[in-house]
Amino acid sequence: MPAMNMIQALNSALDVMLARDPKVLIFGQDVGYFGGVFRVTDGLQSKYGRTRCFDAPISENGLVGTAIGMGAYGLRPVVEIQFADYIYPAYDQLVSEAAKLRYRSAGQFSAPLTVRTPYGGGIFGGQTHSQSPESLFTHIAGLKTVIPSNPHDAKGLLIAAIEDDDPVLFLEPKRLYNGPFEGWRDRPSSPWAGHPMAETPMGHYSVPLGEAAVVQGGAAVTVLAYGTMVHVALAAAHHAGIDAEVIDLRTLVPLDLETITLSVKKTGRCVIVHEAPLTSGYGAELAALVQEHCFYHLEAPIRRVAGWDTPYPHALEWDYFPGPERIAEALRAVVEGEGV
């Protein structure tokens, strides 16, 4: 099984799906001849032709709007939004249209599109190349939200998303494209090669939507994370020397609540980590659910470690990014049962 980085794994997923299903097509800014600014669609236009993978105008509402029409026709469009920070012009089409089409037409029409977009920080991208908007979509009934944390899952989840009959927002942690990232600002970054989850089958396979992965067993505390933060959380637990059970959610909607509650009922403690700002982040939903479902097992308040409630900065990126020290501190506090 070849080792792939996340870009190669995503490219492979698209390649597999273009080959298997003539209804799949890809469009977005710079994805055609050029192969995408992150090279995720590299080589696909020349392999499958211009009507299967092509450039689109800089109009995110047009991208998603036309993809909905294509989906209603019967195709399975995969759309790339160049950065998640630029998804807002398409917000109405996603929220009012893609998410509600099946419901409002009582199943006559549906919008089986996949919207891929790189998200998250850690690359000195400033406020418009670093955002994590996932919770703005998890609130919307009718949308699924998927976030992989490694090449193997990225490919399998992307295939599952494309094959899914409902609209899926597929957020790609761009900080993980070329290698895992533990969040230490001053240590050299490592490539994916050598990481067990870089082992990625060449052909078709899928990782089902709605199944979390327990990436590290542990007894002291449950850590809920996704995307880049899975790796940062692991590093933090190691750093703090705490026996944490780390769960990679993989899909936020549908959520694998069972795996979460099973773990929290065992550990009695929970820390939730994300890059997005704290207030109304997805961590809020997770905390609400965990206290609802595990109240009588909890031995300390659930803590959230998240981005601050400010826009994403540039120079002070490492003061914003919820790195291993901040997470480690929360782990310690929760294990010691500290209130706020």
Partner 1 sequence: MAAPLSLHIPEPARRPGAAPDFSGLRLSAAGEVGRSDPQTAASDLRDLAFGLIRVLDDDGQAQGPWRPELGASALKAGLAAMVLTRAFDERMFRAQRQGKTSFYMKCTGEEAIACAAALALDPADMHFPTYRQQGLLIARGYSLVDMMNQIYSNAADPLLGRQLPIMYSAREAGFFSISGNLGTQMPQAVGWAMASACSGDTRIACGWIGDGATAEGDFHAALTFASVYRAPVILNIVNNQWAISSFTGVAGGETTPFAAKGLGYGIPALRVDGNDFLAVTAATQWAAERARANLGPTLIEFVTYRAAPHSTSDDPARYRPADEAALWPLGDPILRLKAHLFRSGLLTEQDFADLEAEALEQVRAAGRQAEAVGVLGKSRPSARTLFEDVFKAPDARLVRQRREHGV
Ligand X SMILES: Cc1ncc(C[n+]2csc(CCOP(=O)(O)OP(=O)(O)O)c2C)c(N)n1
Binders of partner 1 among 280-309, rule CB under 8 A?
Answer: 308-309
- Residue pair 122/68 in contact (Cβ under 8 Å)? The answer is no
- Within 8 A by CB and 6+ apart from 125, the residues are 83
Task: Give backbone dihedrals phi and psi of 277, rounded to 5 degrees, phi first.
Answer: -50, 150
Binders of partner 1 among 176-205, rule CB under 8 A?
Answer: none
User: Among 34, 194, 337, 338, which residue interacts with partner 1 (rule: CB under 8 A)?
Assistant: 34
Residues near ligand X (CB under 6 A), total: 5
Q: Does 29 bind ligand X (CB under 6 A)?
A: yes
- Within 8 A by CB and 6+ apart from 107, the residues are none
Q: Is 274 a catalytic residue?
A: no
End-to-end CA distance of the chain: 47
User: Among 169, 229, 249, 253, which residue interacts with partner 1 (rule: CB under 8 A)?
Assistant: 253
Q: Is 285 a catalytic residue?
A: no
The site partner of 302 among ligand X, partner 1, a second copy, none (C-beta below 5 to 8 Å per kind) is a second copy
Binders of a second copy among 79-98, rule CB under 8 A?
Answer: 85, 88-89, 91-92, 95-96
Q: Does 18 bind partner 1 (CB under 8 A)?
A: no
- Within 8 A by CB and 6+ apart from 139, the residues are none
Residues near a second copy (CB under 8 A), total: 50
CA distance 227 to 173: 6
Binders of ligand X among 47-86, rule CB under 6 A?
Answer: 58, 82, 86
Binders of partner 1 among 122-141, rule CB under 8 A?
Answer: 124-129, 141
Distances (CA, A) of 21 to 17, 18, 25, 158, 251: 6, 6, 9, 14, 24
Distances (CA, A) of 95 to 117, 144, 254: 16, 11, 17
Of the residues 97, 129, 172, 245, only one is catalytic, namely 129
The site partner of 54 among a second copy, ligand X, partner 1, none (C-beta below 5 to 8 Å per kind) is partner 1
Q: Does 219 bind a second copy (CB under 8 A)?
A: no
Nearest residue (CB) to ligand X, 41 versus 82: 82
CA distance 260 to 71: 34
User: Considering only CA atoms, which of 142, 87, 73, 150 is closest in space to residue 115?
Assistant: 87
The site partner of 281 among partner 1, a second copy, ligand X, none (C-beta below 5 to 8 Å per kind) is a second copy
What's the min distance (Å) between Cβ of 86 and ligand X?
4
Burial class (CB in 10 A: 0-12, 13-18, 19+), 194: exposed
Element (H, E) at 158: helix 151-163
User: Among 46, 59, 105, 280, which residue interacts with a second copy (rule: CB under 8 A)?
Assistant: 280
- Residue pair 232/323 in contact (Cβ under 8 Å)? The answer is yes
Binders of a second copy among 294-323, rule CB under 8 A?
Answer: 295-296, 298, 300-304, 308-311
- Tell me which residues touch ligand X (CB under 6 A): 29, 58, 82, 86, 89
Q: Which residues are catalytically annotated? A: 60, 129
- Tell me which residues touch a second copy (CB under 8 A): 61, 85, 88-89, 91-92, 95-96, 99-100, 103-104, 127-128, 135-136, 138-142, 253, 276-277, 279-285, 287-288, 291-293, 295-296, 298, 300-304, 308-311, 339-340
